[in-house]
Structure 1
Amino acid sequence: MAIVNINVSVTNPPKPSQLLKSGALISVGGTTLMPGSYELLTSKDDLKTISALPKQISSIFWSENVVTVTLDEPHEWEVGARVPVVISGMVPDAYNGAYTVTIGSTNDFTFTLLADPGEATVMGAVSTVAAGEIQQMNTTYWAQGTNRAVYVLELGDLSSTAAVTALSKFIDEDISLGNTYQKFFSYLVPREWDTEATFKTLANNYTSPGSLVKFFVTTTISTYAAWASGKYPNVFAGVEAPVIGATEYSMAAPFQSSLANDPSSSNMVPPMAFRFMYGVTDYPPAGNGKLLKALQDNNINYIGTAAEGGLSNKMLVAGHMLDGMPFNYWYSVAWCAINLEMDLANEVINGSNTTVNPLYYEPQGISRLQRRGLKTLRSGISYGLILGQVIDTQLSQDAFNEAYEKGTYAGSAVINAVPFANYTSLNPSDYADGKYSGLSAVVTPKRGFESITFNLNVTNFVGA
């Protein structure tokens, strides 16, 4: 018989959440993936293996200013839908170009062309504009940096309305089990969704402070007002320069930069405003001063230059969500929500699996949970996400609210834990249910400088 018997229990720290680093390039028929499926891209070349081929044209003819196109195989577009497409490889060349077509049946469509191109002698191919954009997204994403893999989410070769419906269904399923199992934090969407009313409705469904779904949207000078008026806190909207390269998708650069954040004490999260951008075209400032000021006033982002700082780099102006808050603000809120939930759950689960230091619903247990939350916020401060220093309080909720309203905790990260006796007396049934709702925190996300005023006084009094 052993003299000493050892009881072994294991306490494990939580595995860091990868949600804030996870995003998807939205493809609408641009890949061979099944609709609703996704695949990880670890390099620029990974997309080549799943890129969809254009649809081949079997016949095309012009009559009374209308061109009718028939495809070799049925398409997936809805009959009657209006779909932007690109036709290429045709002879005569007058058939080639970008058109918004009307879907007539399962394998044909029509579009308006005023001049008769003549009889077609060589049949080309057709692809949707949205399908081609996944190539531009991919190119610009990897031009910005190669330190963060990204997913491509295929919705299918659909009209914009149908594709938005497909994304809505995907997101509902993705978030149904909470952020622990949520796959994607942000989405880079096709340009065509800028004026799609159903997409604004979709974005509006995820505007709550606790919603962990963000959208990167490309808008235009003539259409951005419709986005600006909505002040969506979950939409990062931007315009592209009037002339950009054929392989460029400007909003893919800040999208990559947002996913590249990797918070740690030695790798702090810098402000999104004025981050360097690569592989993109800056909006020309000459003659556009009033316009660019209007974009900033309406929280519409664009690619500018760092010339004011004596630098030749391109940079992002000004890194805001549509509600006017910096991207870092909502990023910090999401980080706090994800990590506080994970760390507190970790404490509870580990506390149920140790005989040395079990966690009980008692004053000491409440203090232990509070200390774990304080540790999480200290990490947020050291990562460049939260302002100030950590403070712990043990007040009734009314007393805490009163102190907060007086500004007692201004500029600090505070976690209050309502004392055991006070809480259970006010909520007698909660103890029997093992429920405690007395923890609350106040944090201020860090933000960078965006405007500085320096007062310079010039004097003629020499030697005074």
Structure 2
Amino acid sequence: MPNIVTINESVIRGAMPNLLQQKACLVSLGATSLKAGQTAEASSLSDVLALLAPFNTAQVAGSTSNENPPVAQSTSNTSSAAPDAGGSNGSAHDNTAAMTELTAMAQSWFANTTAGCWVLELGQIAATTIESALSQFTETYPQLFYAYVLPRGAQNDPNLPSFLANQSSSDGRVYFFLCGDKDGYKKLLVNGVGQKSTFYGAEYTGSVVREGTTAANTAQEHLAAAVAAQFCNARPSGLNRLAPMSFRQLTGITPWTEAGHGPNFADLKRNNIGFAGTANEGGVEGSILFWGTFSNGDTMSGWYGADWCSINVELQLANAIIEGSQPGMRPLVYSQEGINRLTARAQQTLDSAVTGGCILAQYELEATDFNSYITANPSDYTTGTYNGLAATVVPVRGFTSLTFNLAIDFSGQTATSSTKAATGA
């Protein structure tokens, strides 16, 4: 029998989450069996240790442009590792320092988060010449990672500051974490100014270590990796709101001692340099991060929240346009109703940002109406272009200084007044 009714089915699928903000890599300079430009995912410290490989000469032929995708299929130790990388003794086949550095990174990463990371191998190069290989990789694979943890000594590359400056646009969505001695940050400044894309942490090492105190063990801890782990560990939601990075607890990181370092602390704060200090003031054991900012002074949690908004608004609006272009009852067309639907999707996304603690609730969202926009931009309708959506958001931040005014009344008059008020006498 012929069908009386024909059913036309259409499928609506929600947007898959963008996981960029959960992706970070530990940069190796010849410590692993990976080829130069290759990455490997590691879900535990043992995965990173399995990549270590001394006396590897196979990496030399590697290139960041020959790996597509640049991900290794295995973390097994299949060959031996690289020569001088990141400060070894200069032997043609000695990558001991590079392996030690990567191990310290991995230990601090997994001490501060249960989330995995990637290892990016840049090959047999010194930390002081890291910019060329790093630049080539990021140009080939833009926004593949949200955070890069660089080995100690990278701040001594004279070409690195300009590279970091080029990554510091408001929509850059990439950050580089470095650490070293107290004054190492000075080599990263551009015209005396720190960069939004850069975190530099001053470890308790070198000349600042006071007699009778314990210096940071750089073979077993890495401040930049610990901070990056905390930074990328956020999963904003109603049950796990974004927290400030200032005073974040750091596991396995040696803090600066309090005594005798007042001038150093003031200098580090003034120049937006992070460091691990004690939490004794709050009656808490362990190390905490001071001050939770990037090198330009912007709060780290503020940029995380702003990036979350831009990433997810882009994702949701693109999803709405794609889904609205499929056959169905409500195609998304260029009209006032279409603008209203896109505005509603943007509002829904920003409301989620508020719920997740990424921005304050007092955001502004505006959409130019169809008639006004087309009147002002008549050619845009022909090309299907609409540039009338705009929002202003305020990222959240934490308290970094608090003054409590306490009056001491030795006369007892305050207590007398309180007693009279309570009794009505």
TM-score where L is the length of structure 1: 0.78
* Structure 2 CA distance for aligned equivalents of residues 363 and 169 of structure 1: 44
Residue 147 of structure 2 corresponds to: 186
SS at match of 1:187: strand
Residue 163 of structure 2 corresponds to: 202
Residue pair 2:247, 2:292 contacting (<8 A) in 1 also:
yes
Cα deviation for residue 161 of structure 1 reads 5.0
Structure 2 counterpart of 1:238, from 183, 201, 205: 201
Residue 218 of structure 1 corresponds to: 179
* Structure 2 CA distance for aligned equivalents of residues 83 and 11 of structure 1: 51
* Structure 2 CA distance for aligned equivalents of residues 371 and 129 of structure 1: 54
Residue 61 of structure 2 corresponds to: none
Q: Deviations over 1:198-234 (max 9, x none)?
A: 1112111111101111000113223323446322011
Cα deviation for residue 253 of structure 1 reads 1.0
Cα deviation for residue 11 of structure 1 reads 1.0
* Structure 2 CA distance for aligned equivalents of residues 348 and 83 of structure 1: 47
Residue 119 of structure 2 corresponds to: 152
* Structure 2 CA distance for aligned equivalents of residues 31 and 83 of structure 1: 13
Structure 1 counterpart of 2:109, from 137, 141, 145: 141
Residue type at the aligned position of 2:27 = I
Residue 260 of structure 1 corresponds to: 233
* Structure 2 CA distance for aligned equivalents of residues 326 and 83 of structure 1: 29
Residue type at the aligned position of 2:116 = A
Residue type at the aligned position of 2:342 = L
Structure 2 counterpart of 1:342, from 293, 296, 315: 315
SS at match of 2:329: coil
Residue pair 1:156, 1:163 contacting (<8 A) in 2 also:
no
Residue type at the aligned position of 1:190 = P
Q: Which has the higher helix share?
A: 2
Equivalent runs, 1:314-329 vs 2, <5 Å: 314-329=287-302
Stretches of structure 2 that go unaligned for 5 or more consecutive residues are 58-79, 206-214, 418-425
* Structure 2 CA distance for aligned equivalents of residues 170 and 35 of structure 1: 10
The answer as to 2:270 corresponding to 1:291 is no
Residue pair 1:130, 1:191 contacting (<8 A) in 2 also:
no
Residue 87 of structure 2 corresponds to: 84
SS at match of 2:328: coil
Residue 32 of structure 1 corresponds to: 33
* Structure 1 CA distance for aligned equivalents of residues 193 and 343 of structure 2: 38
Residue 52 of structure 2 corresponds to: 51
Equivalent runs, 1:91-102 vs 2, <5 Å: 101=90
The answer as to 2:396 corresponding to 1:424 is no
* Structure 1 CA distance for aligned equivalents of residues 125 and 184 of structure 2: 23
TM-aligned CA distance change 1:458 to 1:47, over 3 Å: same
Residue type at the aligned position of 1:427 = N
Q: Percent identity?
A: 33
Residue pair 1:227, 1:322 contacting (<8 A) in 2 also:
no
Residue type at the aligned position of 1:454 = F
* Structure 2 CA distance for aligned equivalents of residues 354 and 261 of structure 1: 38
Q: Which has the higher strand share?
A: 1
Residue pair 2:86, 2:98 contacting (<8 A) in 1 also:
no
Residue type at the aligned position of 2:377 = N
Residue pair 2:52, 2:99 contacting (<8 A) in 1 also:
no
SS at match of 1:126: coil
Residue pair 1:262, 1:269 contacting (<8 A) in 2 also:
yes
Residue 224 of structure 2 corresponds to: 251
Stretches of structure 1 that go unaligned for 5 or more consecutive residues are 57-72, 87-100, 102-106, 109-124, 176-181, 389-411
Residue pair 2:56, 2:81 contacting (<8 A) in 1 also:
no
TM-aligned CA distance change 1:313 to 1:188, over 3 Å: same
Q: Deviations over 1:384-422 (max 9, x none)?
A: 00102xxxxxxxxxxxxxxxxxxxxxxx21111001011
Residue type at the aligned position of 1:455 = N
Residue pair 1:55, 1:126 contacting (<8 A) in 2 also:
no
Structure 2 counterpart of 1:366, from 324, 335, 339: 339
Cα deviation for residue 174 of structure 1 reads 1.2
Residue pair 1:241, 1:283 contacting (<8 A) in 2 also:
yes
* Structure 2 CA distance for aligned equivalents of residues 215 and 131 of structure 1: 20
Cα deviation for residue 74 of structure 1 reads 12
* Structure 1 CA distance for aligned equivalents of residues 82 and 251 of structure 2: 37
Q: Deviations over 1:104-139 (max 9, x none)?
A: xxx86xxxxxxxxxxxxxxxx732634431111011
* Structure 2 CA distance for aligned equivalents of residues 156 and 329 of structure 1: 34
Moved more, 339-348 or 278-287: 278-287
Residue type at the aligned position of 1:435 = T
Q: Deviations over 1:151-170 (max 9, x none)?
A: 00000011335432111011
* Structure 2 CA distance for aligned equivalents of residues 317 and 131 of structure 1: 28
Structure 2 counterpart of 1:385, from 344, 354, 358: 358
Residue pair 2:130, 2:157 contacting (<8 A) in 1 also:
no
TM-aligned CA distance change 1:74 to 1:334, over 3 Å: closer
* Structure 2 CA distance for aligned equivalents of residues 312 and 74 of structure 1: 39
Moved more, 436-445 or 195-204: 195-204
The answer as to 2:4 corresponding to 1:6 is no
The two structures, once aligned, show a CA RMSD in angstroms of 2.1
Cα deviation for residue 76 of structure 1 reads 6.8
